[in-house]
Amino acid sequence: MARNVPTRNEYRWFCDMPTRWMDNDVYGHVNNVTYYSYFDTVANRYLIELGGLDIHAAPVVGFVVESRCQYHAPVAFPEPLEAGIRVEHLGSRSVTYGIAIFKAGESSASAHGSFVHVFVARETGRAAPVPDDIRAALAAIAVEPDEP
């Protein structure tokens, strides 16, 4: 079964994602669960750097409620990686990110998936509207529904 492997041009923002020695498993490549850590890192880096999220004091924060990943090519420490992110859906209280992991400089993803944050009030844990600054940052990397 042929799989659609995303390419770099399908993502809106990138950051370096260094591999660590501990990322490799006994088979000599980055373990599958580590990709979810990469996804969490790129989403939160974006929110902090471009959305102004204060992870220690913000009254509203994002909780992960869903994630998935498809693997296309193995990577291993010490290969440098890059993570690409886009917003696939921006709701009033949640966001769905599309995230891909690339070997540095490569155009095809080694892995890709999605990651959903529901925004919640820190004090109550109840769903809350996406804060305005974060919403603006997320809208800046949103893709149209008919885009890849």
Task: Tell the residue number behind the tokens 């088979």, with chain if given.
Answer: 27
**What is the sign of the dihedral through the CA atoms of 18, 23, 25 and 30?**
negative
Return the pLDDT at 41: 96
Residue spans of the domains in the chain: they are 10-139
Q: In what helix (H) or strand (E) does residue 87 lie, and over which residues does it extend? A: strand 80-90
- Pairwise CA distance, residues 133 & 60, whole Å: 12
Q: In this structure, what token pair is assigned to residue 127?
A: 């769903």
Q: What's the full length of the chain, in residues? A: 148
Q: Which CATH superfamily is domain 10-139 in?
A: Hotdog Thioesterase (3.10.129.10)
Please give the model's pTM, rounded to 2 decimal places.
0.92
Return the pLDDT at 144: 76
Tell me if residue 12 falls in helix, strand or coil: coil
Please, what are the averages of pLDDT over each run of 10 residues along the chain (148 residues)?
82 97 95 96 97 96 96 96 98 98 97 97 96 97 72
CA 139, distance to chain mean position in Å, is 15
Read off φ and ψ for residue 26, nearest 5 degrees. Answer: -65, -15
